[in-house]
Structure 1
């Protein structure tokens, strides 16, 4: 599977709509970007698609009802729990910011994710 790369414009847009808040960081992921809070991803890029992770059924249903939303990630294996925001929202960043803030709030309630220990190097 070829992983699509986001355009520089989409990366700049993504960084602009991810809020600066305690525990939030934007990191590169497989040639894309992910936004994390306390080690848990709440938003990300897959090519030019922006996806958010929502934990509450009511929020998932409300976002899914918006025209232009859909699965997030590879078509053959979308990321469970994530919804792609409408591409048209790049023209109205306040809508994207609103849903990214909802994702941050919901995922921010999860326990801090502990980093996995690095695997020991094999001896020759």
Structure 2
């Protein structure tokens, strides 16, 4: 299943988000711009959506406050810690900034992802 490319306005909006903390590393995941803290993704784009990782209490408050839902990269695959940021909230950066900060601090508090060991190719006998 091919994912849709993020619209240019959203890519530009992501580039302008306040992600200047030294803990933050910007990189792409599945071709979409994302940001990581302590090697844990906390914010990123997917198709035409901005998704934000939040701890349970903040996630519940976000879902109650905004017209949002839990992120599903495809139907039936819930990513329970991630919420979809409504497009109108993306434009209200001062209101969005504290949520980004909470998200970044949450990701930074998590243990770093373990690097997957790559299997060495078996040499042919002989």
Question: Pairwise CA RMSD of aligned residues?
Answer: 1.8
**Counterpart contact for 1:39–1:114, Cα < 8 Å:** no
Question: Which structure: larger Rg?
Answer: 2
Give the structure 2 partner of residue 52 of structure 1: 52
Count, aligned residues: 123
Give the structure 2 partner of residue 70 of structure 1: 69
CA distance in 1, matches of 2:18, 2:74: 25
Q: Against the structure 1 CA distance between its residues 13 and 19, is the aligned structure 2 distance closer, same or farther, given a 3 Å change threshold? A: same
Runs of 4+ aligned structure 1 residues displaced above 6 Å come to none
Give TM-score, length-normalised by structure 2.
Answer: 0.84
User: More deviation in 64-73 or 81-90?
Assistant: 64-73
Q: Which runs of 5+ in 1 are unaligned?
A: none
Cα drift, residue 75 of structure 1:
4.2
The one-character-per-residue Cα deviations of 1:29-67 (angstroms, maximum 9, x if unpaired) are 112122111111111111121111112x32111101123
User: More deviation in 29-38 or 18-27?
Assistant: 18-27
The one-character-per-residue Cα deviations of 1:56-107 (angstroms, maximum 9, x if unpaired) are x321111011232112232402322111111111321222222111100111
Q: Which runs of 5+ in 2 are unaligned?
A: none
Give TM-score, length-normalised by structure 1.
Answer: 0.86
